[in-house]
Amino acid sequence: MAGAGHPVLWRIVQTIPVLIGVVVVSFVLTRALPGDPAVYFAGAMATPESIAEVRAALGLDQPLVHQFFRYCAALLQGDLGRSVSTGQPVVEDLATRLPASLELTLCALVLSCAVAIPLGILAAVRQGGPIDHLCRILVTAGVSLPTFFTGIVLIYVFYYLLGWAPSPLGRLDFVYLEPPRVTGFLLVDTLLVGDIETFFGAARQLILPSVTLALFTLAPIARMTRAAMLSALSADYVRTARAAGLAPRTVLLTYALRNALLPVVTTLGMVFSFVLGANVLVEKVFAWPGIGSYAVEALVASDYAAVQGFVLAMAVLFVLLNLVIDLAYALIDPRIGFSAK
């Protein structure tokens, strides 16, 4: 391919079959509802006539292919059905709750990258040293931690025993006034109106759930950073740079780290998969009003339209995140942009 623009475009085009696959799976999940969806949507007081009516209204009497196109058409209009428990369209519910989840996830990721990447670098530089052992223990323990359990332990220690953390009930304590909604991110919205007190209130609520999620994601990032740094440090170009008398710092950060970051960024894609799943559990533990706890509530209430909407939304989010990662990859490594794809 010639030019730098094409591979990026090509990468964007590649997400289309994946998105189609996601929609097909989500359609199958929707239609595989336990029992007859028409009976379900007709409600408890349904008569055979009203069920038939609902069946026709939902298009369930049509052939499956036809139903699939109806489903796609509804999707294109942003119609994911109506939640039985809240009475709102699922899309609206998800949209109001999405910022809470994103704020939590992003904070956790930033936190875990800030800890894991330096840790991995130090472990690789001082291989076999105490930091390396610490890294190894953290990595193995980190992937073994059930997120919901870590969250509960943190609540017990920091809320019940030490009293440092606020009560684990949502995004903002009731003593604060919620800022006018602009982005939906409380940290941003409070700063926009200059309400520093509420900003810190929101930040305090955010700390424990973010740490819980970050502990979970620390392991894969640290492990990958360490492995990538080790192979970068033993590469010829690092030896050459050292031999040329460059400062150790320059060799480490400019030569080794920049190359080591590529596999780390790739790992981030997998980490996102874990994070979005773990999010559901963490939101339940901390009563966080995000889309994860929405899905859990919907599951308990057998509100299937809401659950399937949530699954689809998460999958689309994940596909887009992976796209962003791959594009970032091209930014970090200019070779990707020009190599034949």
Partner 1 sequence: MSGIVSPAPTPAPERGALAHVGHVLRENPVTAVSFAMFAVIVLMAVLGPALVPYDPLATNAARALEPPSAAHWFGTDHLGRDVFSRVVVATRLDLTISVAAVALSFVIGATLGAIAGYRGGWVDAVLARVLDTIMAFPLFVLAMGIVAAMGNTIENIVYATAIINIPFYARVVRAEVNIRREAGFALAARLAGNSHARVLASHIVPNALPPMMVQVSLNMGWAILNAAGLSFIGLGVRPPTPEWGIMVAEGANYIVSGHWWVALFPGLWLMLAVFTFNLMGDGLRDIVDPRRRT
Segment 43 to 102, residues that bind partner 1, using CB under 8 A: none
Distance CA 262, CA 335 (A): 11
Q: What are the C-alpha distances in Å from 223 to residues 114, 132, 140, 260?
A: 14, 10, 9, 12
Residue 277 makes contact with partner 1 by CB under 8 A: yes
Those residues whose C-beta lies under 8 Å from the C-beta of residue 134, and which sit 6 or more positions away, are 119, 123
Distance CA 293, CA 112 (A): 22
Residue keyed to tokens 């391919």: 1
Residue 160 makes contact with partner 1 by CB under 8 A: yes
Span from 67-75, 89-97, 112-120, 223-231 in contact with partner 1 (CB under 8 A): 223-231
Query: In terms of CB distance, is 107 or 187 closer to partner 1?
Result: 107
Query: In terms of CB distance, is 110 or 137 closer to partner 1?
Result: 137
Q: What's the CA angle centered on 297, arms 293 and 301, to 5 degrees? A: 165
Span from 31-39, 65-73, 175-183, 203-211 in contact with partner 1 (CB under 8 A): 31-39
Distance CA 224, CA 145 (A): 18
Burial class from Cβ neighbours inside 10 Å (0-12, 13-18, 19+) for residue 76 reads exposed
Distance CA 339, CA 341 (A): 6
Residue 233 makes contact with partner 1 by CB under 8 A: yes
Q: Please report how close the Cβ of residue 253 comes to partner 1 at its closest, in angstroms.
A: 15
Span from 4-12, 58-66, 200-208, 226-234 in contact with partner 1 (CB under 8 A): 226-234
Residue 143 makes contact with partner 1 by CB under 8 A: yes
Footprint of partner 1 (CB under 8 A): 17-18, 21-22, 24-26, 28-30, 32-34, 125-129, 140-141, 143-149, 152-153, 155-156, 159-160, 167-168, 223, 226-227, 230, 233-234, 272-278, 280-281, 284-285, 295-296, 299-300, 304, 307-308, 310-311, 314-315, 318-319, 322
